[in-house]
């Protein structure tokens, strides 16, 4: 016997929501999904009327759904926002070049301006070239650091007030868990991210608008809406995050609320007053936000350019003064920072 939608009690249900357990028809699911994103925006007062918002667009399901929903809600509730698409080309052959074709189609479908910034343009390196030098063990460290800064630099070029990212609930829960396992208190306090004042670079990062949306529901929304998105996983996919993802999926199979429970734990985390936290400053070289004399991006780049890729992996803060003053490293320091056992 067909199951009726638990909301309208009229149409046949096409799915059971993983988050609530409600059986919904397509129309009721669309409305519920969109309203939850709207309530997230309104509750956190994320945007002000007249602001320009850059949507981080990769061509994947999350950013495609985000662009679609943000355009729809902006018109439905008269947010008064000017929306733009911002993409980062990491230089990954057979992956990013294909996904950017999807982004270009999205630009035409949603009639939004698009800006693409590339690692090669900003740093003089592509991820393909970086992987050739550092291998696959720590490549995601380089990519994650460079991408965050690339988004902010792209935001400056577009003169946007905020950047909107498509990280979903699964992504946020994985990040909370990874930071717990690393004992990274500073990042734990910032997850899930909330709107921040303007950075040293002049831009501001807004929290993900999909942070309470399960990955399963995003896939279903994109499927039923027949959205155009790129579904191939990065050929340099992260290993450490993969372990956290597998662990969370196992937990979710036993306790469906596990993902939300982890996120709420991250939101409600409190840190003792006597715990020393990093002091936010700016990079002496590029002016980007940093708690050290040099930002992580500049240290990683210095290591790549000098053939010492381990320079940005781990804690080598005592070498920052040497780098800034262009002093040569000792023979033992260079030997330790080369990619012999990368």
Q: Which CATH number is 220's domain given?
A: 3.40.50.620
Q: Are residues 297 and 181 in the same domain?
A: no
Same domain (yes/no): 190, 296:
no
pLDDT, tens only, 53-72: 999 999 999 999 999 999 99
Assess if residue 232 is contained within a domain. yes
Residue 290 — very low, low, confident or very high, per pLDDT cuts 50/70/90? Answer: confident
The pLDDT tens digits for 182-232 are 887 777 766 655 444 344 444 455 557 788 999 999 999 999 999 999 998
Q: List CB contacts of 37: < 8 A, sequence separation 6 or more.
A: 69, 73, 209, 210, 213
Helix ranges restricted to H, 124-239: 127-134, 139-158, 169-182, 185-189, 215-225
- The residue that leads in pLDDT, 22 or 325, is 22
Task: Summarize the annotated binding site as residue ranges.
Answer: 56-58, 62, 88, 166, 171
Taking 70 as the threshold, does the pLDDT of residue 341 lie above it? Answer: no
The H-or-E segment that residue 83 falls in is: strand 82-89
* Between 169 and 337, the higher pLDDT residue: 169
∠ Cα 73 75 77 (to 5°): 60
pLDDT of residue 196: 42
Q: What is the pLDDT of residue 195?
A: 43
The position carrying tokens 């479908």 is 109
Average pLDDT over the chain, rounded to an integer: 86
Domain limit, last residue, from 268, 299, 325? 268
Taking residues 319-334, report their average pLDDT.
64
The stretch 164-190 carries a mean pLDDT of: 85
Which residues does the annotation place in the binding site for ATP?
Answer: 56-58, 62, 88, 166, 171
Q: How far is Cα of residue 309 from the mean position of the Cα atoms in its chain?
A: 24
Regarding whether 145 and 259 lie in a shared domain, the answer is yes
∠ at Cα 14 (9, 20), nearest 5°?
Answer: 75
User: Which single residue is written with the structure tokens 């189609």?
Assistant: 105
For residue 39, is it within any domain? no
Whole-number Cα distances in Å, 94 to 35, 61, 97: 36, 18, 6
Q: Which domain holds residue 290?
A: 281-335
Residue 276 lies in a domain: no
Instruction: Examine residue 221 and state whether it is found in any structural domain, yes or no.
Output: yes
129 and 152: one domain?
yes
Query: Are 239 and 316 contained in the same domain?
Result: no
54 forms beta bridges with: 84, 163
- In percent, the amount of the chain with pLDDT more than 90 equals 52
CB 185 within 8 A of CB 170: no
Residue 10 is assigned to a structural domain of this protein: no
Q: Look at residue 222 and tell me if it is in a domain.
A: yes
Burial of 227 (0-12, 13-18, 19+ CB in 10 A): middle
| CB-CB contact of 32 with 7 (8 Å) | yes
Short-list 58, 53, 56, 263, CA closest to 162 = 53
**Is residue 322 domain-shared with residue 204, that is, in the same domain?**
no
How confident is the model at residue 14, as a pLDDT?
94
234, 268, 302 — which closes off a domain?
Answer: 268
Report d(CA 208, CA 172) in Å as an integer: 9
In a domain, 5, yes or no: no
Question: Does 92 share its domain with 195?
Answer: yes
On whether both 104 and 197 belong to a single domain, the answer is yes
Same-domain check for residues 295 and 149: no
Q: What is the pLDDT of residue 11?
A: 94
Do 71 and 138 lie in one domain? The reply is yes
Element (H, E) at 336: helix 331-337
pLDDT score of 165 more than 80: yes
Determine the pLDDT at residue 316: 58
> Does 145 lie in the same domain as 286?
no
State the residue for tokens 């956290």: 244
> Is 239's pLDDT higher than 90?
no
At residue 150, the pLDDT reads 94
Decide if pLDDT at 105 tops 90. Answer: yes
DSSP states of 4-69? BPTTTSSSBP-EE-TTT--EE-HHHHHHHHHHHHHHHHHHTT---TT-EEEEE--SSHHHHHHHHH
Answer with the one of 222, 244, 268 that is the final residue of a domain: 268
- The pLDDT score that the predictor gives to residue 198 is 40
303-306-309 Cα angle (round to 5): 35
Number of domains making up the chain:
2
Query: CA-CA distances (angstroms) from residue 89 to 58, 179, 199, 204?
Result: 9, 27, 22, 21
* Within a domain: 21: no
Q: What sign for the dihedral angle of Cα 121, 124, 128, 134?
A: negative
At 197 the pLDDT is 39
**What does the alpha-carbon distance between residue 309 and residue 134 come to, in Å, rounded to a whole number?**
6
The answer on 249 and 308 residing in a single domain is no
């Amino acid at each position: 016997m067909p199951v009726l939608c638990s909301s309208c009690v009229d149409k046949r249900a096409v799915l059971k929501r993983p988050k609530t357990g409600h059986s919904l028809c397509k129309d009721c699911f669309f409305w519920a999904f969109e309203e939850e994103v709207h309530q997230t925006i309104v509750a956190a007062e994320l945007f002000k009327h007249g602001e320009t918002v850059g949507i981080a667009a990769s061509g994947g399901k999350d950013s495609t759904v985000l662009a679609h929903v943000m355009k729809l809600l902006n018109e439905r509730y008269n947010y008064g926002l000017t929306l733009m698409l911002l993409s980062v080309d990491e230089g990954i052959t057979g992956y990013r070049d294909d996904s950017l074709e999807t982004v270009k189609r999205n630009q035409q479908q949603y009639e939004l301006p698009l800006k693409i910034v590339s690692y090669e343009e900003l740093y003089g390196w592509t991820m393909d070239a970086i992987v050739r030098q550092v291998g696959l063990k720590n490549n995601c460290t380089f990519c994650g650091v460079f991408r965050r800064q690339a988004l902010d630099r792209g935001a400056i070029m577009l003169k946007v007030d905020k950047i909107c990212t498509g990280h979903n609930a699964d992504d946020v829960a994985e990040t909370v868990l990874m930071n717990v396992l690393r004992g990274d208190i500073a990042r734990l306090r910032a997850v899930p991210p909330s709107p921040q004042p303007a950075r040293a670079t002049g831009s501001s990062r807004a929290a993900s608008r999909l942070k309470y949306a399960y990955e399963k529901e995003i896939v279903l929304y994109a499927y039923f809406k027949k959205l155009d998105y790129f579904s191939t996983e990065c050929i340099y996919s992260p290993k450490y995050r993969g372990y956290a993802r597998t662990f969370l999926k196992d937990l979710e199979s036993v306790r469906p609320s596990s993902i939300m429970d982890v996120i709420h734990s991250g939101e409600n985390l409190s840190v003792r007053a006597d715990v020393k936290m990093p002091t936010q400053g700016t990079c002496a070289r590029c002016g980007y936000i940093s708690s050290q004399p040099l930002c992580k991006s500049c240290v990683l780049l210095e290591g790549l350019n000098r053939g010492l890729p381990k320079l940005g992996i781990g804690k080598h803060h005592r070498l920052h003064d040497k780098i800034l003053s262009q002093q040569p490293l000792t023979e033992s320091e260079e030997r330790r920072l080369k990619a012999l056992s990368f």
